[in-house]
Structure formats: structure tokens, C-alpha cells
Chains A and B, each alone.
Chain A
Amino acid sequence: MAVANTAAPGRSSFLRRNAIWWAALVLVVLLPQVARSGTAIAVLNQMCIMVIFSLSYNMLLGQGGMLSFGHAVYFGLGGYFAMHLIQLAGGAGFFMPLPLTPIAGGLAGLFFGLLFGSFSTNRAGTVFAMISLGIGEMIAASSLIFVKFSGGEEGITADRTDLTPFFGHRFGSEVEVYYLIAGWMMLSAWLMYRFSRTPLGRMANAVRDNPERAEFVGYSQRRVRLLSFMAAGFFAGIAGGLFALNYEIVTEETVNLVTSGIVLLQAYIGGVGFFAGPIVGAVVYTLLQTLLSNYTEIWAFYVGLIFVATVMYAPTGLTGIIMMHLPIYRVRKLRTLALPYLKVGVPALCCAIGVIGMLELLHYLSVRAVGQSTKRLFWMSLNVEQPTPWIVFGLLAVGGFFVARRMAPALVAAWEAASAQAQGRGER
């Protein structure tokens, strides 16, 4: 359950109160010193953009209770507008340093948030979800129709180095761009966190929990939703602007429903009930996308599986799982969970290997060249025309699943016992 930290205001020092932010800042500054390769920096850039985008999405879903299927609209339109600004400034040569261009994206997101939010935020729930889907489809279609603005299927491009140098930096190198994007990420994440701690942010939670009650304490649920929606649009636009300057191209892909789906997926896998959830989700998703795709062509299928598994077995997301264990860790009882975890984890791993094996073999069947029958998988050469690998993977998948399910209640019981102890300790 998502209960934000409500402890009475601690009057500890500024440094200590924001310790986690300082740690994050140090990490962000040092990362490119560790991950030096061009690919690594590219992954980091994408990650930072997705962190902002996911956090903005969670202003709707997690904090405002609005399930949007069209959040990419504000991301993509932000990207288009920022790209037009870069083109314009590059061509006309007026004063416009690159680091300021995402603001154009943010303002575009804010404007379209106001425009579309003015009628879509009247209600939450299904009506809101459906309208968001409709707007998403509409804007995606428009981006192929209004070619002058969007460049059609090719999209629009620009050269970011044409702009006014920023303290001597032209942002030709990936690392320079990384610091630009990471800076915006830290600023945006911090602002979004602050937002969640303001009267409006708190009332967004209240409207999510109980819109009727919120009206009877003086707040218009529509207005609260609209303002949250605009803020979410603004930060999605910032993310879109960063996308534009990072890739130097914006296409229909940035506004379409696939992107809207991805941001939902990220936030959900990470955990929508926690501020940090979407950050975890964006990092994990980007890693899966970039690393997993080195090993398998059907990585997106696995991401889908993970999503379904999260919804079914861990609705509080990865962050939720971590938070469930934090109190147990604090009373040093994590050890008591090791054996139950092993009992579930080993069969679950077998199940995963079985499922992956079957999927990879199936995929290989459909793409293999004529006459080929040997698939390399898990450091083995498997002949897809023999029944043995199929049977083994099948047994692993089915057997693993049922054994894991048999063992799960013991794990839940162990967790409950440990957390009861943790709670007892907490209340003294």
C-alpha cells in the first residue's frame, strides 16, 4: 500500500534531509567515468529521458489515479516543438543555447495538457482512460497527416551543434549531452518530488483516494485533476525535448500508442505506489531493452511476460517488493527468508528456463533458414527437429511452475512472520 512518508517535519540539516538526492547527484555525475563506452553513454541518456517520462506518467497514474493510455502525446509533441526550435535557432542563428530548448517541449506539453485535459479530466476511471486512448490515436494519426509540421514518416531532424554555444560547449560529444540530460533529469525529478509534497500534490492523492470527499473539503476534483494533468504534460514535454536533442530526430514513434504503452509498463513494473517506482521501472526497462536485445530478438516478448507477471504476482511493482523487505532487513531477519526464497526461487528459475527455451525454439522454427535445425541456446546446441529439447523445456516450465506455486504459501507465511516481528520491534 502506498502511504507516503508523513512523519512530522524533521528539522534536521538540509544536507541530511536531502541525503538521497545528494547521493543520486554524485552517482549521476560519476556514472560516465565508470561507463565510458559510447554505447554505455547512449544507454544512460535514454535511461535519463525515460526516468523523467515515467515520473511524469506517475503524476497521473500513481498520484492522481488517472490511467492514461496516451501520455506519449505530450512527450512526442514536446519533442516536435523542441526540434522546431532547434531547427529555427540553428537556421536563423538567434541566441538559444541547447540546454534551454527542452523548455519549449515542456511548454508544448503544458499547453496540450491544458487543451486535452480541459475535457478529459472531468472524470477519472474508464472515461478518462478511453478519452486518453482516443487522443493518443488522433495525435499519432495527425503526425502522419500534417507533414509540414511533423515531417511525415521520416520525421524532422536538426543538428544540435548549430546552436549558440553554452559556456563554450557545443554538445558534439555524447558525454556533454549526457550531462545536459542528466542535469535536466535531476532537476525534473526533484521538482516532481516537491510537487507531490505541496497542497495540490496532496490533494491529487486525496482525489485519487476519494473524489467525493475531496469535494466536501472544498476542492473541485476536476480542477485538481486538470492541474496535475498539466504538470504531467509539462514534464513529459521536457522529456520529449531531451529526446529531440539527444537523437536529433523526432518521428511519429514518439507520439504513438506504443510509446504510451511503454511508459505505462515502466511505471507499473517499477511500482506506481512509490515516488521512486517509475525511476526503477525506467532503469530496468531500458536495461532490458538495450542489453536483452543483444542476446535475443524476442526481448519485447519477455518484457511483456514480466509485465503480466508483475500485474499478477507483484502489483506493487519492484519498488513494492523492496519496500516489503525493508523493515525485515532493519531488524536483521532477512536470513529467515533465505530458505523459503530458495525453495520458491529454484523451481521458479527452472520454470523461467523452460519457458525461455520453448519460446526461443519456437522463434527459431519460424525464422530459421531452410535446412538449418541447430539452435544455440544456453551454451548448448539444440536440434529443434528432435523431441528431446522440447520435452525437457516443457517439463521444466510446467514442473517448475507447479513446484514454485506449492512452495509460495510457505514463503508468504515466513514473510508474514518476519514482518510481524519487525512491526513488534518498531512499536516497541
Chain B
Amino acid sequence: MSTAIELIDLYKSFGSTEIIRGVNLAVEQGERHAIIGPNGAGKSTLYNLITAKYLPTAGRIRLRGEDVTGCPPYEINRMGLARSFQVTNIFPRMSVFENVRCGMLWAMNYRYSFWRDVDELDDVNARSRQVLEDIGMTSRADVPAGVLSYAEQRALEIGITIAGGADIVLLDEPTAGMNRSETDHTVELVRRITENKTLIMVEHDMSVVFGLADRITVLVYGEVIASGPPNEIRGNPAVREAYLGEEVD
């Protein structure tokens, strides 16, 4: 197996505060990888570094062996990496269908085309309907995304993320703020859509993490204290200590 994403000696500071302190991490292709850690461990910062929302203070990021440190987000996306957002980040004034469609236009090679009618791009529209089907939102296709319920917006968020068919998918707390059944539904959805893909996710919910991930990385105060398959992480005393008070089972 080859490496999908590799982080080398990654540092990130905001002002004088060091958030990420020398992270080394390699995620294999086809792996479902979860990043966990207590509040303030720097999970979201790390996530935003990988997806190029933030620039690292030091260190390199490699995408399939290629150095992408400092590339703008759209170039990283074009290389086959898609991300979701923790705070729902959709196109609120466009319909659900259009949200998903916008997620795939570049990936399906229509780029900056200003001579084709979007309604006549049969491949795009068929795939958009397929994605809506996958995320269970076919009946809401024509609704403005801004008026969807929270859980629906989260689902749409994932829909936009996977629309382009990227083979490296990053999800930021996909089940945040959901009740049990919504969470189960989302886990099922994530499992389905990341079949044969590389998944990196940041998640709080331990049942989600242990149910989905092949490997888990534990981040505490900006440093990786453990990384391995779920069983190993579960028994790791350092992890238990870091999670004192939070149950790991």
C-alpha cells in the first residue's frame, strides 16, 4: 500500500501559542483514519492544516508523495482531496441539487466553462441525483439549502464533499450535534461513501470512532501520543490517562 497523506514535523503557532508541536503522521491509501483527542488538543487545527485552510509554521505535507505545503485549497481539491466542515458550510441561497452539482463541476472537467448549459450536462445531473440518493435527500432537491434542518445540512455537507469523487475524504466531526439515530444513520452513510477510499476524520463520539476507523491517532496538546489500530488504542494507558473522565470503550 502507498501513502495517501504524510505529515512531516508539522508545527503551527497562532501568535506565540503553539498549537501543533511536531506532528508526524502517515495515512495509508484505503485506510479509515480517525484523529481523536481531548478538547484543545489541536485536532481541528491539524485538520485545517491538512486541507490547506491554514499554512503550517514549519514542516511539510505530502499528498501521495507530492509536496503540497502552501498550495491553495482549490489545487489540493483538484488533486483528489475533499473535506467537510465542522460548522456547516454550504451554499445557502442555492438549491440542494445545485449545492451538490457545484461540488462536482470541476472534478467532472467542466471547469470555467461558460458555453455549456448546466441543465444539459447529463453526466453531471445524473451523478448529482445519485449523490442526493446516497445522502437520502432526493425529496429535498429543489429546496434552498439555507432552510434545511441542521441534520439535513450536515448530510448535504457530506454530499458536497463526496460529489467530486475525491479518493481522499476528510470529515470534521460528521456527527456533531446529532442524536443517536441520526448518528447511526451518518455512520452508515460515511461507511458506504468511503468504500475503497481514504478517510480521515476528526470525531468526538467514541462509538463512531471505534466503529469506523481502521487506525486511530490520539492527539494531546499538539503532539501525537499514540497511533494504531482501535484495539491497541483502547488498551493504551497513556490514552486512558489523557481521557481521564471520558470513557474509552
Contacts and interface: CB of A to CB of B under 8 A. Distances in A.
Given A195-B114, A199-B111, A202-B101, A217 B164 contact: yes
Contacts of A206: 91, 94, 102
B118 A1 contact: no
A197 B119 contact: yes
B150 interface: no
B117 A209 contact: no
Contacts of B111: 199
B65 interface: no
Contacts of A208: 93
Contacts, number: 123
A217 B84 CA distance: 10
B77 interface: yes
Given A215-B73, A220-B72, A2 B93 contact: yes
Contacts of A231: 114
A294 to B, nearest CB: 40
A218 B164 contact: yes
A210 B93 CA distance: 10
Interface string A209-247: 110111111111001100100010000000000000000
A4 interface: yes
B53 to A, nearest CB: 8
Contact of B93 (A1, A203, A224): A1
A217 B98 CA distance: 13
Contacts of B120: 9
A205 B91 contact: yes
Contacts of A213: 85, 89-91, 160
A3 interface: yes
Contacts of B119: 8-9, 197
Interface in B77-114: 77-78, 82-83, 85, 89-95, 97-98, 101-107, 110-114
Interface in B176-197: none
A9 B90 CA distance: 23
A7 interface: yes
B94 A209 contact: yes
B14 interface: no
A215 B74 contact: yes
A146 to B, nearest CB: 33
A279 to B, nearest CB: 20
B59 interface: no
A173 interface: no
B125 A203 contact: no
A194 interface: yes
A197 B117 CA distance: 6
A261 to B, nearest CB: 26
Interface string B62-81: 00000000001110011000
A12 interface: no
B144 interface: yes
B18 interface: no
Contact of A218 (B74, B85, B95, B115): B74
Contacts of A202: 94, 98, 101-102, 105, 118
Contact of A3 (B94, B113, B125): B94
A33 interface: no
Contacts of A201: 114, 118
Contacts of B94: 3-4, 6, 202, 205-206, 209
Interface string A185-199: 000000000110111
Interface string B35-67: 000000000000000010100000000000000
A6 B98 CA distance: 7
Interface centre among A1, A199, A205 (most CB of B within 10 A): A199
B9 to A, nearest CB: 25
A395 interface: no
A200 interface: yes
A326 to B, nearest CB: 16
Contacts of B164: 217-218
Contact of B95 (A3, A219, A224): A3
Interface in A21-78: none
A194 B117 contact: yes
A101 to B, nearest CB: 24
B146 interface: yes
A217 B106 contact: yes
Given A3-B93, A198-B118, A205-B94, A214 B102 contact: yes
30 contacts: A1-B93, A3-B93, A3-B95, A4-B95, A7-B142, A9-B120, A195-B114, A198-B113, A198-B115, A198-B117, A199-B110, A199-B111, A200-B114, A202-B101, A205-B93, A205-B94, A206-B102, A208-B93, A210-B89, A213-B89, A214-B102, A215-B72, A216-B74, A216-B83, A217-B160, A218-B78, A218-B105, A219-B106, A220-B74, A223-B112
Given A203-B102, A218-B78, 7 more contacts: A8-B119, A198-B115, A199-B110, A202-B98, A202-B102, A205-B93, A219-B106
Instruction: Kindly list the 3 A-B residue pairs having the minimum CB-CB distance in the complex, ordered from nearest.
Output: A218-B106, A209-B91, A9-B119
Interface of B: 51, 53, 72-74, 77-78, 82-83, 85, 89-95, 97-98, 101-107, 110-121, 125, 141-142, 144, 146, 160, 163-164
